Structure 1
Amino acid sequence: MRTSYSALETYKLCPRKYQFQELERIKAPKPPAAIFGTLVHKTLQYLFSRDPLFPTLDETISYFRANWPPYEKFPLADSERALYQEAGEQMLRNFYAKNPPWNFSVVDLESHFEVLIEDPRRKDTHVLAGRIDRIDKTEDGFEVIDYKTNRKLPSQAAVDSNLQLAVYSLGLARRWPHVAPEQVTLSLYFLKHGEKLSTRRTAEANEGTRDQILGTIAEIQGGIASAKPFEPVPGAWCATCPYQKQCPAWKHLYRASAAARPDQAAMDAAIREYFDLLKSQRKATARMAELKGEIADYMAREGFDRVFGDEGVLARSVQKRFAYDFERVRAILEPLGKWDAVLAADEKRLKALLADLPAEAREAIAAARLPLREYTVISASLKRVPKPEAVDSPLDAAEA
């Protein structure tokens, strides 16, 4: 399989989006944030590529403005376009002040790499491709820098476990095998905040990254082999996803009007009634909890174990729960040869353990799963979502 970090990250975020994007190859326009980020990256590439006659700050800003996308490619209201442009220029000004280009020894920009990931169990080889924003030569080795235009600043722990940086470490190891992973600093530069967060990897960590990638690829290949659609995972990322019209988690929002489909009117009425009943149920449950507390206090205060009403009886009882001290139990049962009889497999512990297992073990355990039953669960949320008239799919612009 030929893949990339971004494709694997898409799968982990939402398998159904991966299916639309990587398997079905449904074309979709970039969201505004991605277009903005691409231009900022392009401007920084321009800044460092003019060695030794680096552009001034004014020339850098002029380049950014000259390449500002037209409305057709960046279809936002004028006020929103202005905010994006102002934010981009401020990022560039802050970056230039803090990082004069002549202070760095830049080895490469927008550096393409490919890593061969061998799967000895399946006797298969995968190609992992990617592109690094910038590589610098430093006193003790090299530094990989990836620019970020998003607002969120992650914790150091998140940077230390960042898969993208781990993939870059594999890319550098492939490009320069003589350079130890410990000699490569891996950095994320957050342009909005002017902060650079860095980490390093070891050769052992790189092997762990390979196992992690093989595990994800095995999941993808297993999903493809099953011939079943990949499941969507709704979340905050859906707001900028261009595949809402096709996605089973969203396409009902884009359904035909009730006038065009009479059956839809009846179903809309059923959905409304369901939510009305759900609201009533929640109110009743909350009120019942309040009343139960009042009655329990009354019974305890008066010394009643049961109270009687016109509609029935309420009884009060004390229930106790116990937990065994299993070290003491083990000391009792092991001499009798009965300890193994009380040990039970724990699926929750197994799932927690999976992340720390090598890819081969994870794949073997996945193959050991037995289908017990399959059932449909309907869950409800009272969160309001904009009606179809107020929602446009980004694909509409592509189709126009």
Structure 2
Amino acid sequence: MTGEGRTGAPATTPEVSSAHQAAFAGMPTPLYAASPSRLLAWLDCPRRYRMQYLDRPRPPARPQRAHTSVGITTHNVLRDFWDLPPGRRTPDGVAELVRSSWIDVGFRDPEQSATWRGRVRETVVAYLRGSNRDQQPVGIERSVALRTASIAVTGRVDRLDDREGELVVVDYKTGRQVPTEDDARTSLPLALYAVGAARTFRRSCVRVELHHVPSQTVAAHTHTAESLARKVAEAESIAADLRRVDAEFAERGVESPSFPPRPSPLCTWCDFRAHCAEGQAMGPEKSDWAGLDGGSTAAREPHLQRGS
């Protein structure tokens, strides 16, 4: 599932006053609705979380970078590939999908854009050669949801496979960082997608995979019921913090002390660094195309999310 663009609405919005909430005293506490991306944004940087999810109007984000355009195009092609008739699931069919889906944003010049369009075509063709193109996935960009006593999490899974009667969560990666088995094991979003898929389809789903399209690397982990329960508990813990700070923001707005910056090398890539002095102090902003080959190794995929 993705990530950015897969946002849950907060249970308490800035427009709801404490007086209105007091009127519902004695009523059950509503579930905190969120996406995995929202939960992880809080862990990355409370200030960025506030600007991205709470501030109204939201501060303008910087223009999209080239590596994001590459990631989105790749995901769109891998989504639309499975809508092609079997006879058109060929290199020429992929080339046409890349041509029609290409996002020409963030590149240094037309030549760089054309070069990367060719690279995307080649890497997607090579990746799909290792797939069973006749076995239709159970779901493509399928929405799944899970609810507990305190949270309601929704998101979209890049791909759901049926492997001998069990569901497998597949998440595509396109950045220069090749994911590892530890990335798959520790990923909160992947675990939540597995639980959500199992509940949506009423079938077992314990295996999660990160497919790095450029290198054709698959990083996988098979969860246990206990490890999935720990991940759900982790999500509930983060959501409890967010419920508290969201309510505080509703009362105090940007004066709330609960949203300090968390400066790190990622600040040079942050979409909201123009509005954060501490982030700007971490160094000059990366260029629009710095996340492509030859850029800084800091251009990792935050949380290995879609679109990076």
User: Does the alignment pair 1:14 with 2:48?
Assistant: no
Q: Which amino acid aligns with 2:270?
A: C
User: Does the alignment pair 1:243 with 2:244?
Assistant: no
Give SS of 1:49's match: coil
Provide the rounded CA distance (Å) in 1 between the counterparts of 2:88 and 2:199: 30
Deviation at 1:219, TM superposition (A): 2.0
Structure 1 partner of 2:234: 212
Deviation at 1:158, TM superposition (A): 2.9
Q: Which amino acid aligns with 2:221?
A: T
Structure 2 partner of 1:201: 223
Structure 1 partner of 2:259: 230
Deviation at 1:166, TM superposition (A): 0.5
Over 3 Å counting, the alpha-carbon distance change for 1:54 and 1:197 in structure 2 is farther
Over 3 Å counting, the alpha-carbon distance change for 1:168 and 1:51 in structure 2 is farther
Deviation at 1:134, TM superposition (A): 1.0
Provide the rounded CA distance (Å) in 2 between the counterparts of 1:224 and 1:128: 17
Say whether the 8 Å CA contact 1:147–1:191 is kept in structure 2.
Answer: yes
* Structure with larger Rg: 1
Deviation at 1:140, TM superposition (A): 4.0
Structure 2 partner of 1:180: 204
Provide the rounded CA distance (Å) in 2 between the counterparts of 1:59 and 1:391: 33
**1:208-237 C-alpha deviation (Å, 9 max, x unpaired):** 112101111122233334432511122232
Over 3 Å counting, the alpha-carbon distance change for 1:241 and 1:215 in structure 2 is same
Provide the rounded CA distance (Å) in 2 between the counterparts of 1:80 and 1:32: 10
Structure 2 partner of 1:34: 68
User: Does the alignment pair 1:110 with 2:135?
Assistant: no
Task: List gaps (5 residues or longer) in structure 2.
Answer: 1-31, 249-255, 289-308
Structure 2 partner of 1:46: 80
**1:220-276 C-alpha deviation (Å, 9 max, x unpaired):** 23333443251112223223212111113135x6xxxxxxxxxxxxxxxxxxxxxxx
Task: List gaps (5 residues or longer) in structure 1.
Answer: 120-125, 254-382, 393-400
Question: Alignment partner for residue 91 of structure 1, among 107, 111, 123?
Answer: 123
Q: How does 1:116-127 map to 2 (within 5 A)?
A: 116-119=147-150, 126-127=151-152
User: Cα RMSD over matched residues?
Assistant: 2.5
**1:151-199 C-alpha deviation (Å, 9 max, x unpaired):** 212332332122121011111122023x234xx4211100111111211
Say whether the 8 Å CA contact 1:61–1:92 is kept in structure 2.
Answer: no
Structure 1 partner of 2:13: none
Provide the rounded CA distance (Å) in 1 between the counterparts of 2:88 and 2:111: 32
Q: Number of residues paired by the alignment?
A: 247
Q: Which amino acid aligns with 2:204?
A: A
Give SS of 2:278's match: coil
Provide the rounded CA distance (Å) in 2 between the counterparts of 1:46 and 1:173: 24
User: Does the alignment pair 1:170 with 2:195?
Assistant: yes
| TM-score, length of structure 2 as denominator length | 0.72
Give SS of 2:259's match: coil
Say whether the 8 Å CA contact 1:54–1:101 is kept in structure 2.
Answer: no
Provide the rounded CA distance (Å) in 1 between the counterparts of 2:267 and 2:131: 35
Q: Which amino acid aligns with 1:49?
A: D
**Comparing 241-250 with 46-55, which one deviates more in the overlay?**
46-55
Provide the rounded CA distance (Å) in 2 between the counterparts of 1:241 and 1:32: 14
Say whether the 8 Å CA contact 1:148–1:188 is kept in structure 2.
Answer: yes
4+ runs of 1 displaced by more than 4 Å? none
Over the matched positions of the two proteins, sequence identity in percent amounts to 23
Structure 2 partner of 1:150: 175
Structure 1 partner of 2:100: 66
Deviation at 1:54, TM superposition (A): 4.0
Give SS of 1:249's match: helix
Q: Which amino acid aligns with 2:209?
A: S
